[in-house]
Structure 1
Amino acid sequence: MDTQSSGTLQSPSIFSESSKTGSSRSGVADINEKEMDLTKDNSASPIDLECHIQTERITKILDEAIYKIKLSLCLPHFVQEYKTLSSVLSDQHMDDLIFIFEQYDNPLFSDSLMNVTVMEDLKAGDVSLKNRLNPELGHLIYIMNSYPALAPKVEEMIEEMKASCVGDEAAPPQPGLEFLLAMEQFKELMVRQMETTAAEELAAKISTRKLEASNKNLLHKIEEYSTKLKEESERFEKTMKLKTEIITKLQKELAMLNHEASLKIKKKILDSERQMVLASRAHAVKNDMLKEEENECKEAYENLLRTHLADEKNQRARRFKVETQLLSWLQKYDLEMGEKQIELDELTEKYEDELQKCEVLEQKLAEQDKEYIPLMAEREEEYHKEMTEKMNKFMLEHAARVIQTAWRDVLANRAEKKKLKKIQKKMQAAAAAANKKPPKK
């Protein structure tokens, strides 16, 4: 709801409130246009003005009633939240409210309950709602209604109540909230009824008459269908009688079968009991055997424990010896390492000095290499040239020698060939001469 002014709530107009519903938006726009036209002269009839005034009066009354219902629903929450009331209400009104709350909590001390009948009911233990009501609660609602600053808080609480009821379907119903919803629905219905015109009412009546006519036809059909249903129900009853007879027969057969089954079950139970007795005896014998094995195992376990304890003592003694030896070795190691560390430090100092000297020498060598390397390169080039010249000379001389020896060989071969030719000629001449001589007598 909207704000209040001068001690009472000023409810919004019927049209602004009804615009929240989706069904009456177009009607609201038309009525707002009419309301704007009502300010002009000769724009509406006196009947329309009177209807408009009465609608606003009715809506204001309904809005005030709904707001008071909301206040009454929010009273317990306001009592629990004392800070909201104390921050909004004045001190005097706050004292009045506290006085009314105390009377409501203790009705025996209220002025409205001092009659004899109510006192007798209270003594008998009947502390019902009728004996707890007093007229001062109305004054409490009037005081809270006179403060418009409480309206937003009231609306928030009501929205939370509605949301909790909608969210939790398993929650118990709240009569006060249901009454509030019914009042709001009643207000919407009143708004719709006041918004409807005479033509719309006539159209609604005509539609209802048509629906009544169709309803009569439907009732006639319902009577026909009901007769058919009766006939079918009679048939169904007959079939059900036959089925019940069959069921009774089957039940008797079931009883006989159950009796036979119970006898068989008893026999099986007796047999199982006998088997259980035999099994229990066998288990008793096994239990005795297991107890003997348990005793033997305990003795073996104790013997093992003794041996293990003796071994543990020996191992602990050995461990103690090893630890003492280790400590002595560690002490010797520390002493030796101390002496060696001194020697190592001296050697490291010497090594660092030598390293510095080597670095100095390397720097000097680098400086010398800058001059030495190009000189050596020039020397290698000159040496390479000399060697190449010597090699060339040697190759030429060697080639000349080879050629000379080869030529000498050729000349010797030619001389030998000439000698051979001369010898061949001499041989041929001697052979020819031998052939020409006559034979001897």
Structure 2
Amino acid sequence: MASNVLSMPQPTVVSSPQPLQSPAGGVVRLLKLSPIKTLPNIDSIKMLEPGRKKLSSIETQRVVAVLDETIKKLELVSLFQHAIENVDRYSVVFGSELAGALREHKRLQDNMERRLQRVKSGEDESSIQGAKTNRVEDADLHFGALHQGVQSSVRNTMRLLLTNPTACKTLRSEGNVRDQASQTLIRFLSELRPFLYEKLLTSPLEQNERRHYLQEITLRDHKNRNILMALEEELNAAILDRDTEISKKNGIIRQLKIKLHQLEKFSENQVKRTMQEAENQQKSDCRASEGKTAKLQQELQQLRSQLNGAIVENREVELGLRKKKYKVETEIENWIQKYDGDMGEKQAELEEVEGMYEEEKAQLVELKEKLAVLEVEYVQIVEERRLAQLRREEAERELASMNRAAIVIQAHWKGYQVRRSMKSKKKKKKKGKGKSAKGKTKK
């Protein structure tokens, strides 16, 4: 865009800078991009970093430990081929048991490679096509046994190698002979470790906050890009309008130059005729002016005397006006200085108020986020209190009904006891009356 502006043709007539004109005659005003506002009270770098520095749970520590152990073992397994090829050179460091395990691993690996080569060359296909189903199954079982044997050999060799730190250190020092595929896999796992470590350090809440933060930054960047594209289109349209206007003015200037050239030619002829006429008129005027000159000389002397008097008066008036002008200029300078000072103070106050506004705005956003969380918690608490109140009221109703039932039962029980005691008293009275009647009959 800058190169296009610099390469535009300049008009031949230089005038004072004017604002860009649109075809309709209006002024095109270029908007200024507002800077991207950062999130309130949040450091971008700290937001993208995990909240903790160490793994707190045992599960995450085990995950990282498993990955580290895998990388270490992969570094050793990828060097098995080099160790097998140079087992005689490292026999003292490896020991007899580890050297024997490496040779056994080489034997199993060679058998498996020969088996794979036969399968690829098609030797087994012809035999399988003419053989029975049980022979095919035996071949598959044999290949599976070879595969399991290689796996067991790798585990056994790795176990023996880990029990020999000197052999591990010696084998690790030969890392430059590792094949490209293993090197790439180890590098990818090593690059995966810090990423996994950071993921394990980050809690789900922090992950959600980071995702929301990145989404907001992406949305703001997209909006700013759209604004920038709109402004660039507006600027291009304004530049096109200005070029069109400049081309129109250049055409007008060319036409005016042609007309000016024609006027110059016409004026030259007119001047020649006028000069001739003027010379003739001058000669006649000279003769008439000689008589008038004497008269005018006398008038000139009188006017000079009047001029000298007027000059003296005007100098006095000028001196007074100069003093007044100096006083007014001094006052204007003082007012300008006072205005600059007041405007500087107002600008400082404005910047301070804007800073306070940004801080309060950031606090408002933070409080809104906290309020949203607290509002959810408040709704849950109110719902729990309502349910608890309903349970208490239900318990009170049950207790009241139980109390009424207990009172009724107690009343019935007391009535039963009273009736029972009354019955027992009546029986005792009847017995007493029967005994007294018997005594009387005996007498």
Q: TM-score, normalised by structure 2?
A: 0.30
Which structure is higher in RCO with an 8 Å CA cutoff and minimum separation 6?
Answer: 2
Which of the two has higher C-alpha Rg? 1
Q: TM-score, normalised by structure 1?
A: 0.30
